[in-house]
Structure 1
Amino acid sequence: MVDKKAILAIVGVPATQRYDTYLGLPALVGKSRTAAFKGILDPAVIQAIPSYCMGIFLLPNDLCSDINSQMRKFWWGHQENGTRINWMSWGKMGMAKASGGMGFRNLNLFNRALLAKQSWRLWKEPESLVVKIMKAKYYPDGSILDAKVGAKPSFAWRSIHSSCDVLKEDLFWRIGNGATV
């Protein structure tokens, strides 16, 4: 106990008894994933906060629907006792601007894309500390592309692993100058 007090005094931070979040992300994700991530549903920063979280965790579909609902209410306006005119369908708003849409993201697909980016990093950056840790724990004898979910995985690993199929679908060999493939 003395060591803990000394370290806290040196660092200048208070001790905490609760570990609900760390860097804005849930420290523990239990059975109710929607409850664990409900804190990111803040209308003021509806697209910035989820992007950070989506790069690490696979958000529940109903939470993505709630976020989409908040974006629709903001864009179209919201009245408690009435409806507003929706000048453009939500599907068209999700299309790319170059295709005549507004560029809103499909949050489920965006979430999977960000997780696939993490899978790519785990595949292409073998000297990274996080890669060394994940490899030692989840796929010690192979590649992330061959990894299994395994027994009792963390929610972060389960999330990243769920995107490996996206990575596998879009990988192909590119022949360069003949020295490398």
Structure 2
Amino acid sequence: MRDRASGQFLNKEKTAMFFSSNTDSENRRKILREGGDLVKGSYERYLGLPTLVGKSKYNTFRCLKEGVWQKINNWKNSFLSSAGKEIMIKTVLQAIPSYTMSVFKLPKKLICKELNGMLAKFWWGNQQRECCIQWRSWKKMGQSKENGGVGFRDLENFNLALPGRILQNPSSLTTKIYKEKYLRNFSLLEVKLGNTPSLIWRSVWSYMGLLKEGLRWRVGNGNKIQIWGQK
């Protein structure tokens, strides 16, 4: 089966068909007939990302928490010094959800409470003691070392900024698709969320507020400046 838009052929070993409830049976038969013999199987993830996100976003991305937990429970981490823990958190533990956060905006419960709580417990405690005193809030630990922190990444703000990078490459196929679907009649700063948006578009759209806060207006040639205001 060849994609008429891109001219590429589908890899049948990595292809599965999914139809919404609104797809009539005749169109289903046509698509399946054009596709030929496809491998039947369950493809819940593709390139490490979920192909479908159900009603519970927390359950969909809970595997990130489990990945961080497995790294923390490594017996070798019991012998890490403070410097070793700092490197472990910055280069390994906080990097585990980065790939997923570059596409999806994760639930606050998962980021603010559970992931940050696990990292704080790992920093202040050890493997032998379940309870530990956290002498400083994790938010303050994210400040620079000059301001009394350690410089740990703020996962919530990091997740807010990452999905917006999808639109930074105008020539990419992803950018062209989203421009055609959501930005056809609006500029980037005027675009609305729309009806029944995908989770990826919700994640990108939530980045717009952060983008507008950092924008600065240049005068340029002055053609768009209205000296006397609008009537």
Match of 2:101 among 25, 32, 54: 54
Report the aligned-residue RMSD. Answer: 2.8
In the alignment, which residue of structure 2 is the partner of 1:126? 170
**What is the CA deviation profile of residues 75-111 of structure 1, one whole-angstrom value per residue up to 9, with x for unaligned ones?**
1125687522434432321112232211112211111
Structure 2: runs of 5 or more not aligned: 2-10, 14-37, 72-91, 222-231
The count of aligned residue pairs is: 165
Cα displacement (A) at 1:144:
2.2
In the alignment, which residue of structure 2 is the partner of 1:33? 57
The answer to whether structure 1 residue 167 and structure 2 residue 214 are counterparts is: no
**What is the CA deviation profile of residues 21-69 of structure 1, one whole-angstrom value per residue up to 9, with x for unaligned ones?**
1111111111100001011111225311211111111100011021101
In the alignment, which residue of structure 2 is the partner of 1:11? none
In the alignment, which residue of structure 1 is the partner of 2:199? 155
Q: Is the 8 A contact 1:116 1:166 kept in 2?
A: no
Q: How does 1:66-105 map to 2 (within 5 A)?
A: 66-78=114-126, 82-105=130-153
Q: Is the 8 A contact 1:94 1:103 kept in 2?
A: yes
Q: Which has the larger radius of gyration?
A: 2
CA distance in 2, matches of 1:139, 1:31: 26
Structure 1: runs of 5 or more not aligned: 9-13
In the alignment, which residue of structure 2 is the partner of 1:112? 160
Q: Percent same amino acid at aligned positions?
A: 46
CA distance in 2, matches of 1:36, 1:23: 15
In the alignment, which residue of structure 2 is the partner of 1:17? 41
- CA distance 1:100–1:148, shift in 2 (3 Å): same
Q: Is the 8 A contact 2:101 2:162 kept in 1?
A: yes
- CA distance 1:166–1:74, shift in 2 (3 Å): same
Report the AA paired with residue 153 of structure 1: P
Q: Is the 8 A contact 1:40 1:49 kept in 2?
A: yes
CA distance in 2, matches of 1:76, 1:117: 34
CA distance in 1, matches of 2:172, 2:187: 14
Specify which structure has the higher proportion of helix: 1
TM-score (norm 1): 0.78
Following TM superposition, the consecutive aligned residue runs of length 4 or more in structure 1 with deviations greater than 6 angstroms are: none
Q: Is the 8 A contact 2:62 2:110 kept in 1?
A: yes
